[in-house]
Chain A
Amino acid sequence: DAGITQSPRYKITETGRQVTLMCHQTWSHSYMFWYRQDLGHGLRLIYYSAAADITDKGEVPDGYVVSRSKTENFPLTLESATRSQTSVYFCATRLGTGSTEAFFGQGTRLTVV
């Protein structure tokens, strides 16, 4: 009954490798989001999804791919990791349209070397 689970919590990968960050929710919330947190920028939206099989770009989508085949999962893939993608990644959910409260995962700290 964890709500939102992100895995892994920490990841070190090499430049050019593909890496997938996982996000799983137990609530069946419609909306799911991926943010990245960087010093001085706060959190910026990468991608979001309104429902299964519906995804859309956020503010900083380049270099990332998402999918949502099931309501509860929203994986984020870095197809060819770059050092600029070193960041802390947060997954979030929201119940549905008109709902304002967002629930955040614990974050994944990704380092690209």
Chain B
Amino acid sequence: AQKVTQAQTEISVVEKEDVTLDCVYETRDTTYYLFWYKQPPSGELVFLIRRNSFDEQNEISGRYSWNFQKSTSSFNFTITASQVVDSAVYFCALTLLLNAGNMLTFGGGTRLMVKP
């Protein structure tokens, strides 16, 4: 069975600091997808990124960047120059492309608090 671990349960930073959220996953499958979701205080889940297991290129989107390393089974998320609006719970998730239902396995989440 697959597993996703987000060891950091809570992180607090001051605005404009850079912050990295860690995600480590376990799966025996070679074909899988990794995701990051943001859950702001309003409660909805906001999709941020999807990365397949064959694409180890790092991705940058504005202040967000993701570092996917298969060698360490990690998919870390960095926010550069954090802002108060980045305060949220962030979830890393994994899905196996060919599993029944393609359901997502989530990590426990990291609560990020950005203070002004």
Contacts and interface: CB of A to CB of B under 8 A. Distances in A.
A60 interface: no
Contacts of B101: 31, 33, 48, 50, 56, 94
Interface residues of B, number: 24
Contacts of B108: 40-42
Given A40-B9, A42-B6, A42-B109, 10 more contacts: A35-B106, A42-B4, A50-B100, A92-B104, A94-B102, A100-B33, A104-B45, A107-B43, A107-B44, A107-B45
B interface, over-half SS:
mixed
Nearest to A49: B101
Interface of B: 4, 6, 9, 33, 43-45, 47, 50, 52, 91, 93, 95, 97, 100-109
A78 interface: no
Contact of B106 (A42, A48, A88, A101): A42
A106 B103 contact: no
Interface of A: 31, 33, 35, 40-45, 48, 50, 56, 58, 88, 90, 92, 94, 97-102, 104, 106-107, 109
A94 B45 CA distance: 15
Contacts of A56: 100-101
